[in-house]
Structure 1
Amino acid sequence: MPSCHSTNDIALQILKKPDTHEGLVVITDHQTAGRGQRGNDWKSGLGTNLTLSIVLKPSFLQASDQFYFNMVASLAVLRMLNKCAEGEDIKVKWPNDVLLKEKKVAGILIENTLQRSAIQWSVMGIGVNVNQQDLGIGKATSLFTVTNVVYELPVLFELLIESLEYYYLKLKFGKRDELKSEYLQHLFGFHEFRKYRGEHLFDGKIIDVAESGRLVMETNRGIQSFDFKEVEFLY
């Protein structure tokens, strides 16, 4: 569609229809009110970026293990970006961003509907800054800003869908250890001491991500774990 307020909101509305099928994609040229974690907006230029939501039905996944879906989405975006900007510094940032040269190039928002202890439906929202040049002053970047190449969005869309299928099938067939190993391998701040803000400022080193999605860190107060609302990267 040419324009919409939020592809995730539209996908969630579609889920109310009884004939909804897994694999449905809602994609737009211009998202006017995209949502991110912590209630942040996702700003996107007209016709310059990938902004889409995919409807999936991972009934094989328990609600307590839903962070594996974040791993699937993050690794898929990273894989696509590596094919477009090979050799550049691209990392996954816990819990739901992808960084290019330590600046945000993509964001992920996953919203699940549950049936007892299992996930009934999942809406996986992904936004990737591709050709956008005016990103304001901040911590965001785009593929074009780094590579000075204008990309064809349909080509990147196909690469992203192929990558999502690759990692989604890994998860579906129980290859969780492989997923987590690759996720940690590309995780920003893994086994590195960096500055964080929680209840106080502290130095911390990421040593793991729990199945629940909590960040496990070594700090001067010992081993601690944090939910995404409890800690913030500083630098």
Structure 2
Amino acid sequence: MIYHIQQTTSTNDEARDARYRHGDVVWAEWQSAGRGQRGHSWLCPEGLNVTYSAILEPTFLPATEQFLFTEVAALSVVDTLGEYGIEARIKWTNDIYVGDRKCAGMLIEHDLRGANLARSIAGIGVNINQTEFDPSLPNPTSMALASGRTFDRREVLERLVDRLMARYAQLEAGERETLQRDYHERMYRLGTCHPFRLADGSIVRATVEGVRPTGELQLRHDDGTLHEYLFRQVEFLIEGRDTPAGTPAR
């Protein structure tokens, strides 16, 4: 069931209420303290986009395989955009890009019971009808900008939820290889060489080769060596946004 509320601190906070059960979705018009990855805030003008949290209870999934849940959530957004004729890619781990611009992001939080997941909340924000953005944002876009039209937000949200549940059904049915293959094929910058910033601040040029089932990004450096990185150990550099001088993207 979709619960449409006017305002909350963040939909992930609201979704923690025990009254929400498996399959429920909390959709808020305004978040006073929306959260994104890396501790960033998530700002969403009222009436233009959708910010929602889906509550799921994948009690069958070991905590060591939780990246599969990330794949489910990311693929559900890419699937939906594709239904509207918008080609999107997944920028590891779960930002959704159209070209070199971010159209959607998410924050996934898990509660554990023993060695398995107990309750998972996928907080997702999708830019739908917004066409003007705060200039401090590095590279935003929206479905409207990508397609040249506006959308019924409720319809888009219902499709997003439908696709999420379809991908979740694959996870529940044990179709791990399908999810991993589909995520891999839709990775942003797959097979192309670009600059990345490492945790120590150094810049390397590398090619995205894939992602391990446990979530590590696989990059082949220019010297031919293959390296694996966890979240926060590596950062994509986007041409025109933060590519350092003297390091052209290609």
Whether 1:7 aligns to 2:22 is no
Q: Which residue of 1 aligns with 2:175?
A: 175
Q: Aligned equivalents of 2:211 and 2:59: distance in 1?
A: 23
Q: Aligned equivalents of 2:33 and 2:144: distance in 1?
A: 23
After TM superposition, the structure 1 = structure 2 runs for residues 56-75 of structure 1, keeping only pairs within 5 Å, are 56-75=56-75
Residue-by-residue CA offset, 1:39-71 (whole Å, 9 max, x unaligned): 011110101111100110001111111011111
Which of 93, 96, 100 lines up with 1:95 in the alignment?
Answer: 93
How far residue 150 of structure 1 moved from its aligned partner, in angstroms, is 1.3
Any conservation in 1 of the 2:50–2:127 contact (CA below 8 Å)?
A: yes
Q: Aligned equivalents of 2:24 and 2:83: distance in 1?
A: 24
Tell me how many residue pairs correspond in the alignment: 229
Q: Aligned equivalents of 1:112 and 1:90: distance in 2?
A: 26
After TM superposition, the structure 1 = structure 2 runs for residues 1-235 of structure 1, keeping only pairs within 5 Å, are 1-12=5-16, 14=17, 17=18, 20-84=20-84, 86=85, 88-137=86-135, 138-198=138-198, 199=200, 200-219=202-221, 220=223, 222-235=225-238
Matched position secondary structure for 1:160:
helix
Q: Aligned equivalents of 2:228 and 2:125: distance in 1?
A: 28
How far residue 195 of structure 1 moved from its aligned partner, in angstroms, is 0.7
Matched position secondary structure for 1:166:
helix
Q: Aligned equivalents of 1:116 and 1:2: distance in 2?
A: 36
Q: Aligned equivalents of 1:20 and 1:39: distance in 2?
A: 25
Q: Structure 2: 5+ residue runs without aligned partners?
A: 239-250
Any conservation in 2 of the 1:6–1:31 contact (CA below 8 Å)?
A: yes
Q: After superposing the two structures, state which structure 1 stretch, 216-225 or 38-47, moved more.
A: 216-225
Any conservation in 1 of the 2:72–2:168 contact (CA below 8 Å)?
A: yes
Q: Structure 1: 5+ residue runs without aligned partners?
A: none
Any conservation in 2 of the 1:216–1:223 contact (CA below 8 Å)?
A: yes
Q: Aligned equivalents of 2:87 and 2:81: distance in 1?
A: 10
TM-score, structure 1 normalization: 0.93
How far residue 99 of structure 1 moved from its aligned partner, in angstroms, is 0.5
How far residue 20 of structure 1 moved from its aligned partner, in angstroms, is 4.6
How far residue 133 of structure 1 moved from its aligned partner, in angstroms, is 2.0
**Aligned residue identity for 2:177:** D
**Aligned residue identity for 1:39:** G
**Aligned residue identity for 2:11:** T
**Aligned residue identity for 1:196:** F
Q: After superposing the two structures, state which structure 1 stretch, 24-33 or 152-161, moved more.
A: 24-33
How far residue 74 of structure 1 moved from its aligned partner, in angstroms, is 0.7
Q: Aligned equivalents of 2:63 and 2:74: distance in 1?
A: 18
Q: Aligned equivalents of 2:146 and 2:25: distance in 1?
A: 28
Any conservation in 1 of the 2:81–2:87 contact (CA below 8 Å)?
A: no
**Aligned residue identity for 1:23:** G
Q: Aligned equivalents of 2:224 and 2:184: distance in 1?
A: 23
Q: CA RMSD in A?
A: 1.3
Q: Aligned equivalents of 2:46 and 2:209: distance in 1?
A: 39
Any conservation in 2 of the 1:28–1:51 contact (CA below 8 Å)?
A: yes
How far residue 191 of structure 1 moved from its aligned partner, in angstroms, is 1.5
Pair 135,193 (structure 1): closer, same or farther in 2 beyond 3 Å:
same
Matched position secondary structure for 2:218:
strand
Pair 20,148 (structure 1): closer, same or farther in 2 beyond 3 Å:
closer
Any conservation in 1 of the 2:180–2:213 contact (CA below 8 Å)?
A: no
Pair 10,20 (structure 1): closer, same or farther in 2 beyond 3 Å:
closer
Moved over 2 A (4+): none
